[in-house]
Amino acid sequence: MTRLRSLLQQVCSVLLLLAVGAEALKFDVQAGNGHDKNSRRCIRNFVSRDMLVVVTAIVDGYKGDGMQLNMHISDATGNEYGKPKDIAGEQRTVFTSHADAPFDVCFENILTNSRYVDNPYRHVELDIDIGADAKDWSAIQATEKLKPVETELRRIEEMVAEVVSEMDYLRSREQTLRDTNESTNTRVKWFGFGTTFLLIGLWGWQIMYLRAYFSVMLVVGMSALPSEIPAVVGRQKTTKNTHTMASVRPATRAVAFARTPLSALLRLPPKRFESSSSSNPQQPARDLDVGELQGATFKIEPLRRVGEDAATMRARLLYQSRKRGTLESDLLLSTFASTRLATMTPTQLAEYDLFLDENDWDIYYWATQDAEELTSASSTSSTTTSTSQQSGSGSGAAVVVEGGKTDPAAQQSPRPGEWAQTVGTFKPAYRPVPARWKGSEVLRLLRAHVESRRGSGRGGMGFMPALEEYKM
């Protein structure tokens, strides 16, 4: 046991000697012109406020050997504690720190002349003592006449006080960090709540806006929808075949309008295309202009091209004739362009360019229906509507048409399912030619093209012709 204790004492003594010997820091500083980063070395250490610090630097060499070693001591807050220049031998600097901050001890080796230096290095041995270690206890012992044990106890007491002060500092730092974390957590929490409430409010506003938007669109659509459409495209089961919009509930009218296809909306009686901009019924109806929609307050202006040559214009009109958006118009206008576009005069090309701005279904019916069909469809529709309103709309009632004859289809029983409202209510499509296209050369050529391909054995318009190329 005694041997083991003595061995432990020897090991502790060796470690203590090594620790004491390791207190000093040794390094070399290379000489430079002052702008070289290798000619500067800095050592950083942390010190508390109002702490005594002793910096001892032992430098080899001598003054005038072609090198000048300068030392600079300052802390991170901008306080400077010493700036000795051209040091050699032992240099000691004593100061008291002004703030809780790290301080730097920097050495800079500068060449003072241009002559060659054999060893352009300065060897520095640096020792930094802080607090109790920085005091000269030998002088204190001699001044206060203390015993060695009293001196050592006093040194240990000051070292313990420094440790307690360091622990208080760490505790204050930990408290500051905890307060910062709690503040950040609170701010993030309220930011999350605010974002959630904002998104909920935005969601509610979008719902109300969409509801108001579709309500307005439904009112506009229902005001423009005639009374004959629900009888044509309605899906409600009923035993009557002469329903009008007045006899259908608003919800059913909305469903009927939503389910109405585009072709059915375009296949309307003449009053669908009469002007509704005037509330006076005595004013004569006018034709809708290009880009003008029935019941709408806006107008879609077509695009106009200027400065085109003939080949470019023909190529564009060929593309617009083949890509209309409906199959019937594609087949009709593509075959017409393949036959007539290459031989059109500049005046006819300009007129055909304006003609293609019209509605697809208008162009189709203007070209495929002759004047007799349009006249008979108009008179039959108006007579049937007026007579049915006078005679009532009972189940199985006969509908009187022009000439006092009855419509056999109206006497049939309504079909079940989705065709319940189609029997006896079909009316041919009606497209009156507006005044701006009556007597048009392009419309006359288009009707002649339709007549030339109408009938069996003439090929019809079942296929789109091959694409032609117009050379620029």
How much is the pLDDT for 325?
Answer: 85
DSSP string, 99-112: SSEEEEEEEEEEE-
Helix (H, G, I), strand (E, B) or coil at 222: helix
Query: Could you give the C-alpha distances from 450 to 76, 376, 444, in angstroms and in order?
Result: 94, 20, 10
Q: Which amino acid is at 285?
A: A
* Cβ-proximal residues to 314 (8 Å cutoff; 6+ apart), any chain: 341, 342, 344, 349, 470
288 with 359: CB under 8 angstroms? no
Q: Which amino acid is at 286?
A: R
Taking each helix axis from N to C end, the angle separating 310-322 and 327-340, rounded to the nearest 10 degrees, works out to: 150
What whole-number distance in Å separates Cα of residue 447 and Cα of residue 444? Answer: 5
Q: Where are the alpha helices (DSSP H) in 82-128?
A: none
Structural domain boundaries enclosing 72: 23-134
Q: How many whole angstroms from its chain centre is CA 369? A: 50
Helix (H, G, I), strand (E, B) or coil at 47: strand
Q: Residue 41 belongs to what H/E stretch?
A: strand 40-47
Report the chain (472 residues): mean pLDDT per 10 consecutive residues. Answer: 57 48 75 77 87 89 85 90 89 88 90 76 89 80 83 86 86 92 95 96 94 80 50 42 41 46 44 41 62 73 84 91 89 91 91 90 85 52 46 41 44 51 54 86 91 75 80 61
Local structure of residue 248 (DSSP, 8 states): S
The sign one gets for the Cα dihedral 461, 463, 466, 472 is positive
Q: Where are the alpha helices (DSSP H) in 107-147?
A: 137-144
Nearest to 129 by CA among 48, 55, 58, 57: 55
How much is the pLDDT for 9?
Answer: 57
Local structure of residue 440 (DSSP, 8 states): -
* Cβ-proximal residues to 216 (8 Å cutoff; 6+ apart), any chain: none
Q: How many whole angstroms from its chain centre is CA 221? A: 33
How much is the pLDDT for 204?
Answer: 95
How much is the pLDDT for 189?
Answer: 95
How much is the pLDDT for 430?
Answer: 64
Query: Could you give the C-alpha distances from 97 to 63, 94, 127, 241, in angstroms and in order?
Result: 30, 10, 17, 104
Q: How many whole angstroms from its chain centre is CA 270? A: 47
CA atoms within 13 A on the CB side of 79: 14
Domain annotation covers residue 113:
yes
Domain annotation covers residue 94:
yes
The sign one gets for the Cα dihedral 287, 292, 298, 300 is negative
The token pair at 287 is 């034709």
Domain annotation covers residue 34:
yes
Domain annotation covers residue 58:
yes
How much is the pLDDT for 359?
Answer: 86
Domain annotation covers residue 129:
yes
Domain annotation covers residue 180:
no
How much is the pLDDT for 252?
Answer: 45
CA atoms within 13 A on the CB side of 197: 6
| Number of compact structural domains in the chain | 1
How much is the pLDDT for 272?
Answer: 39
How much is the pLDDT for 443?
Answer: 92
Domain annotation covers residue 440:
no
377 with 268: CB under 8 angstroms? no
What whole-number distance in Å separates Cα of residue 125 and Cα of residue 275? Answer: 104
Domain annotation covers residue 128:
yes
How much is the pLDDT for 386?
Answer: 47
The token pair at 115 is 């002559």
CATH number at residue 103: 2.60.120.380
What whole-number distance in Å separates Cα of residue 363 and Cα of residue 434? Answer: 11
The token pair at 436 is 């701006």
